[in-house]
Structures are given as structure tokens and as C-alpha cells.
């Protein structure tokens, strides 16, 4: 239960920190943090939580990561469902807290996006469903390669949170214009449920693509990272 609680708190922080920066600070008059700031915020949530709870739960914070670690032989199947439930609940609670904060400003309109992920008319750059699908699969695939490589026992010890946090930052720098960057079904769900309408209608892609990408990434790392037999 401690591990599940850690995943809940960690995912809560990821959604509140990352999506909160997008909703509250990205376009704030004169001192808005923009795409670069939001990208860094997401990376910092993972970096800080990896140091805070990595020794408790492994700091997955993401159903796709949990599934990818299972596919990579690093996580037991028996813990998958409880981890995913804890992550999604943490994301939704964070979305609720963010909604309460954001709605305290006159003129707030949750239907404009609320940091939700989308494609087509709801992509920040107007990218198609196919472009969004490819982006989310490839970005999550590379995220799993980074995670599995950085946490490999042969890798330099103690630096994994930095590599993973910066990896997520880079992923956001690449893909925010395409999908607003998911690579995390819990992150997508946490805000989409408050938007409803198009955000929940398009949510399927932000479950399917990250999970598929995570499994592919795990397969790639098992191939390139497997120890050579004498």
C-alpha cells in the first residue's frame, strides 16, 4: 500500500506541476513561461519525485511506464492494475485541484482545453490524428528506452532521475505542438475528465499510443541492452 500511495502522490504532483504550469503560467501576462517552461515543469516533476519516491515505488507515475517495465521484465504483472489505478486516481485528483485553482479567475473556461491532449482541431498546431498517433508512440518508445537504460544496473548509479527528467523535458519540447504531449494516460485522463466533450472523445488515442510505444520501447531495450552471453 505504501508503494501505491507513493504512485498516487507522485502522479498527483506530475499532473499538478506539469498541467498546472500550462494552465496557470504558460501565457501569464508578461512573464509567461511558454513551451519551454511547461516542458521543463514536466521534467522537474519526474526528477523531484524520482528522488523522493523512487526508493518506495520505483516512481512510475504513468500506466504506460508500468506496462513498459513489465514488458521489459522489470515489473511483476500482479502489481500492474493497482499501480495503474493509483496513478489514474492521482491524476484525476490533481486535475480537480487545478480546476479549483484555475476557476478562481474571472473568465476561466475549461472547454478551451485545460492542458488536455488532442489531435486535429484540438492539436495546438493543428496536426492530424495520424501525426498524433505516430508522435505519441515514438515519444513513449524513446521514453522507455531512456528509463530502462538509465536504471540498468550497468549504468552509472544515482543519475537515473536526471536522465529521465531531462528525457521527459525533451519529449515535451518536441511534441507539445503536435498533441500537447501525453506519453502518459494518467496525465491525459486527469484533465480530460474535467473538460469532457472532445477531450474524453479523443482520450482513447492517449491510452493506446503511449502503451503501444512503451511496449515497443521495452522490446527495443531488451534487444540492444541484453547482456551478451559468453
Give residue-wise pLDDT tens across range 114-144: 999 999 999 999 999 999 999 999 999 999 9
Average pLDDT in the chain: 92
Average pLDDT over residues 89-95: 97
- pTM for the predicted model, two decimal places: 0.92
pLDDT above 50 for 155: yes
Q: How confident is the model at residue 174 (pLDDT cuts 50, 70, 90)?
A: very high
Q: Which residue spans within the chain are E strands per DSSP?
A: none
Average pLDDT over residues 210-218: 97
Q: What pLDDT shows up at residue 108?
A: 87
Contacts (Cβ under 8 Å, ≥6 apart) of 134: none
CA distance to 35, 119, 146, 175, 211, per residue, from 134 (Å): 21, 11, 18, 11, 12
Which of the residue ranges 24-38, 86-100, 152-166 would you say has the lowest mean pLDDT? Answer: 24-38
Please, are residues 125 and 135 in contact by the beta-carbon 8 Å criterion? no
Separation between Cα atoms, residue 212 and residue 206, nearest integer Å: 10
Average pLDDT over residues 139-151: 96
pLDDT above 60 for 230: no
The fourth-level CATH superfamily of domain 2-225 is Glycerol uptake facilitator protein. (1.20.1080.10)
Residue whose C-alpha cell reads 519540447 in the numeric block: 173
**Among 168, 200, 20, 195, which residue's Cα sits nearest to residue 94?**
20
Amino acid at each position: 500500500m505504501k508503494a501505491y500511495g507513493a504512485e498516487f502522490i507522485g502522479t498527483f504532483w506530475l499532473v499538478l506541476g506539469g498541467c498546472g504550469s500550462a494552465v496557470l503560467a504558460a501565457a501569464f501576462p508578461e512573464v509567461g513561461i511558454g513551451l519551454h517552461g511547461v516542458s521543463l515543469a514536466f521534467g522537474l516533476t519526474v526528477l523531484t519525485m524520482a528522488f523522493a519516491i523512487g526508493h518506495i515505488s520505483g516512481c512510475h507515475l504513468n500506466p504506460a511506464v508500468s506496462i513498459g517495465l513489465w514488458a521489459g521484465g522489470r515489473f511483476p504483472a500482479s502489481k500492474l492494475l493497482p499501480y495503474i489505478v493509483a496513478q489514474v486516481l492521482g491524476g484525476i485528483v490533481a486535475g480537480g485541484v487545478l480546476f479549483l485553482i484555475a476557476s478562481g479567475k474571472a473568465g476561466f473556461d475549461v472547454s478551451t482545453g485545460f492542458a488536455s491532449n488532442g489531435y486535429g482541431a484540438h492539436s495546438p498546431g493543428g496536426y492530424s490524428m495520424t501525426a498524433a498517433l505516430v508522435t505519441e508512440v515514438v515519444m513513449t518508445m524513446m521514453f522507455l528506452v531512456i528509463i530502462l537504460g538509465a536504471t540498468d544496473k550497468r549504468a552509472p548509479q544515482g543519475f537515473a532521475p536526471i536522465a529521465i527528467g531531462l528525457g521527459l523535458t525533451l519529449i515535451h519540447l518536441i511534441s507539445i505542438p503536435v498533441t500537447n504531449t501525453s506519453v502518459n494516460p494518467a496525465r491525459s485522463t486527469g484533465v480530460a475528465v474535467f473538460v469532457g466533450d472532445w477531450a474524453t472523445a479523443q482520450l482513447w488515442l492517449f491510452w493506446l499510443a503511449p502503451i503501444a510505444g512503451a511496449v515497443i520501447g521495452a522490446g527495443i531495450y531488451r534487444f540492444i541492452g541484453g547482456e551478451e552471453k559468453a
